[in-house]
Structure 1
Amino acid sequence: MALADTIAPHLPFLRRYARALTGRQDSGDAYVAAVLKALIADPSIFPPDVPPRVGLYAIFSRIWSSVALNVETGLEAAHSERTIEALTPRSRQVFLLVSVEGFTPGEVSQILNLSPDEVSRAIDDAGREIAEQVATDVLVIEDEPIIAMDLSKLVEGLGHRVVGVARTHTEAVAMAAKTKPGLVLADIQLADGSSGLEAVQEMLPQLEVPVIFITAYPERLLSGMRPEPVFLVTKPFQASTVKAIVSQALFFGARARAATH
């Protein structure tokens, strides 16, 4: 099988990881594009003795560590004093790979070229960082009551407060205007056939807030076309995944706001 066919099924998820790592769609996609260019130029750099997904993420990690690429991604001048590595330390990379991307610690060792002890320490470090996240108000946009309850319990368990659960586009926009949440969790398909994505697009001009989208079909949203979500949870979701993405969304949202003040 050709290398392109081997890695193609994994590219949507690599884009998800890259965007969570950088907190931006354009920066994340730039890194993925650089990985593809490197593989086209020299397919032999792809590790031959590991599963294709592990090999793809390993190449990404190698590109990610390139200082030259950090400069070439087109980050604004406001970000010039903050390297990507400073925004996302190694411990956060490990946490995302394990909790969001579902790799085992052993696979993470291969991807990042770390020892098992280094991976373990990085996971512990990330847990301490995430525990220090500032609590915020959360709006849940979800038409399934059980899923909405599960999401509410998860974010409340992290120390946040759920200020509303909306089941439709209209309810979501109204609740957002009333409660001014610090985070939004939004399903894509809502009870009345309306779109959670459209609801979020309507509320964002009046509300600067990180948004996590929830869908059973992430590949439909991660096609490389704009606009696309930066933070994405796949149904059925794991509690650890939701917690990881919530922390990432709040982390990057806080850093982005600080950079503008």
Structure 2
Amino acid sequence: MKWRNRRASNNVEDRRASGGGRPTKKLGGISVLLITLGAMYFGVDPKIILGLLDNSATQSPSTQQSSYQPSAEQQQLAEFVSVVLADTEDTWHMLFQQQGMRYQEPKLVLFSNSVRSACGHAEAAMGPFYCPGDQKVYIDLGFYQQLKTQHNAPGDFAQAYVIAHEVGHHVQTLLGISGEVHKAQQGLPPAQANQLSVKLELQADCFAGLWAHHTEKAKSILEQGDIAEALNAASAIGDDRLQKQAQTS
């Protein structure tokens, strides 16, 4: 993917050198499982319930100021992410303007190990995520190593797809799609509610495809093998696949 010497976004918030407050009260594993199953039974997104519970926990600000110094590779990844985010901004500003609407740019938060968001406390193991509560995308850049080694989905375009997918969730929030889906899930059996969640994830993939199409058309960013990288990443770590696995496990 051709990304160097292009505009970088000003909407990157780097929290890698600071610790995110951690909850001092933890729920036991069984309690978390019961709450999650109960939420699914009533058609409520378990992430919302767990986020609310986490927000209610007593917080202790981190007393450990990290001496984190990004490696050259990590710093290059941060620059790469900011360029990809800028590309999504250009694409969605154009598409929203074509529909007579105004696009509101999300922030992208870089963190290390754990982070606080409006959706609660998150660990790096959760992978990249979008929080509609603060309209921010969160990513620990260490995820890209997992993408390569654990999920067998290497390549810079695969990495870019991850960002574009999460920005796709932001677009769904702005358009009211996410809210409508969550409303429709209320009272549905878990299987049907999960089907709607899978469709929401697939639409975020589609929106990532719109980013790729329009960015390539405007800036000629693609190199040989890039599309295969993105498709491989979508197949390997797409949220719809993970949700399907959770439903059948």
* TM-based fold match above 0.5: no
- Which structure exhibits the higher relative contact order, with contacts defined as CA atoms closer than 8 Å and separated by 6 or more residues? 2
TM-score normalised to the size of structure 2? 0.26
TM-score normalised to the size of structure 1? 0.25
